[in-house]
Amino acid sequence: MGANNKQALTLLLMSFAICLNNAQDSTTLVPAIIIFGDSAADVGNNNYILTLFKANYPPYGRDFVTHQPTGRFCNGKLVTDMTAHVLGFTTYPSAYLSPQASGKNLLIGANFASAGAGYDDKTSILNHAIPLPKQMQYYKEYQSKLEKVAGKQKAASILKDALYTLSAGTADFLQNYYFNPYLNKISTPRQYSSYLVRMFTRIVKELYGQGARRIGVTSLPALGCLPAIKTLFGFHKSGCISRINRDAQHLNKKMNSTATRLRKQLPGLKIAIFDVFQPMYDLVKSPSDHGFAVANRGCCGTGKVETTSFFCNPKLAGTCKNATEYVFWDSVHLSQAANQVLADSLIIQGINLLG
């Protein structure tokens, strides 16, 4: 992130903080953060379900504040963690299935994300992840628990002013569409994108119906630049896979146009589609411009082909010494350092959600 952007971000957040602190006794820009989605946001829910998609063992978490694996698919913090910090939170919303998601911890929100989940429920079932409709059921449970902790009036205020985030779509293509011969046969990538957007629309409308008014949604990343995808579909070529990036960009375009329509349909809704694609693409194409040395493989495992966390294991393959030099932590997920670059960009993009 350039110096001018950082300065602009600081000024904007300071102005919001001044307005907020004049209105209420709070050190955070929103009262809570409520998180839905996939492995980009999962902070440990998959630790409590039967699935291969887990990150609850070393070297995951080696650069986290506790230096312990938490269930985050990263060596350290996720973008959602960094966003929480910028918004003034000193701790992070707990994984809803964890024992920590109880009592006063619920006042700052909850995290329902599950690695392997998608807009397509069949993706979630295939990966033994928590489907988005089930995540929504957990959210309704959370509302009842929050009322018991905060009281009905305060709980309603928290839910109304909270920031809601949603990340999905990557697993739909990466673990479903591209490897499902039947799905390939009956749907083109664009037709499948249209289906995913319908599911996305349904989730947003349901969140709105449950009181959400500030919703930030991440776009698909540059899927064709993931080390796993480049290994499987690149035929040993060094660059990103253009056709797969085009699929991601097509879905992103549809999501943006859908978000514009939803703003008009749903009074009071603030929704932003965060562009993850371009910042990540820039990191991969010009890593040295951002202080990185390696962008063609992950730090952990062989870093090239694994699409589950199983091979990111020191017993099976090596791990780099300095993850800050790597754009990718494993063959699919970004390193903490790369997540910071994305977080800086997304906070600027989502500033209107705070007004």
Q: Which stretch of DSSP H or E encloses residue 218? A: strand 214-218
What is d(CA 265, CA 281) in angstroms, rounded to the nearest whole number? Answer: 33
Peptide bond into 59 cis (omega under 30): yes
Nearest to 178, CA basis, from 219, 234, 133: 234
Residue 129's nearest CA partner among 168, 99, 177 is 168
Candidates 172, 201, 346; CA nearest to 260 is 201
Q: Which residues pair with 272 in a beta bridge?
A: 216
- Strands 326-328 and 294-298: what pairing? parallel
Please give the C-alpha separations between residue 119 and each of 124, 126, 145, in angstroms, as whole numbers.
8, 13, 26
Give the residue numbers marked as catalytic. 39, 330, 333
